[in-house]
Structure 1
Amino acid sequence: MANLAIMAVSVRRELFESILNAVVNHDHYFERRVDVAGRQGLSPHHKLTSAFRMLANGCSVDSTDEYCRLAESTAIENLKCFCKAIEGIYGATYLCNPNREDLKRLLRKAEKRDFPGMIGSLDYMHWEWNNCPTAWASQFKGRHDKPTIVLEAVVSYDIWIWHAFFSAPGSNNDINVLWSSPLFDNVVNG
């Protein structure tokens, strides 16, 4: 089962197992249970694979029924539980802005690398949105007349992503994304 899950989402086995163990230990929803008829329920591997496929590949809820044998309502519930578990497990460490000590460390490292005053690199990435709903396609049309979405990210030298923002509909150039981004809100608002 683990091999099937890993192939489905192209994740290294160690990383998949690490996330699986963390999620199962955090939320009992992901444990395998026996139903009232005495049948085994879905394995944690099924549940995690379903969530990974929906997030990473943008596959529909219906395809999880075919691939992982999860009904639509179960797949949606599973995805919500997975996202809450990931936020609960990793939020304090990876989903936060740098504190004073982090900023001092980043500034010292940047100074050593001849980039004084730099705490991270701001960059934009244009991703083609293959599963964009037809009704929204013209709003998200990119350079090559295909729907795209823009990811804005600030990353430090040690690959700590401490800011990420996906653009809103409209003209998806970097200036417009920066204008609608919450990145500088804290600076502007004191």
Structure 2
Amino acid sequence: MLEAVTSYGTWIWHAFFGVPGSQNDITVLGCSPLFNRLKEGKTPQLDYYIIGRQCNMGYYLADDIYPKWATLVQAIPNPRNDVKKLFTLHQKAYRKDVERAFGILQARWKIISKPAKGWSRENLNSIMMSCIILHNMIVEDKQDGYIDGESDDDQEDTNRSRRARAKIYDGPNLPFNLRTGSISINEYMRRYKMIRSRATNNYLQQDLVTHLWAKRSME
């Protein structure tokens, strides 16, 4: 099983491969490094607003089968008005990016679309991760706007841009234990409950629906 997070350009930002066979699309979330690092307070600090409501966790677009977590946003089943239909249309369209990335991986490297029972789990993991790294290298090479050499004139602007990007990766200001290097169990459980908050999921979805409709009305 491959768990992946990808963007519109099919750049794969996160990949988790080699989950035991007893896992499925839902239970894999319990051992996903993506959410484990969020619970441990080791992910970038995010602060943004959606129609005036402050949010401090990123979210991912997912299928309806996934649980109602604060970090997942599903499409609205059976939308009954134009506002909800618009949101569901956009949500499903953007969610296709990860499926498109899977399709590109299989098209570029036939080895990952063939039967794999003869391979060991370690070899399968090495094959998959190698294909993902090569895929990202190809995507990066084709992207426009990246800097290939710098001049003295734009050196200052480039450094300022890099500082701005680096700031995104600042970690949350949490009290870590100096001996263990981890947060307290109380802070861990607080973040655990925060991630699995169904109420936050509902608020986030409603805010995104309202924001998308308002944006369309202004166009």
Is the pair's TM-score, using the shorter chain for normalization, greater than 0.5? no
Q: Report the TM-score, using the length of structure 1 for normalisation.
A: 0.31
Q: Report the TM-score, using the length of structure 2 for normalisation.
A: 0.28
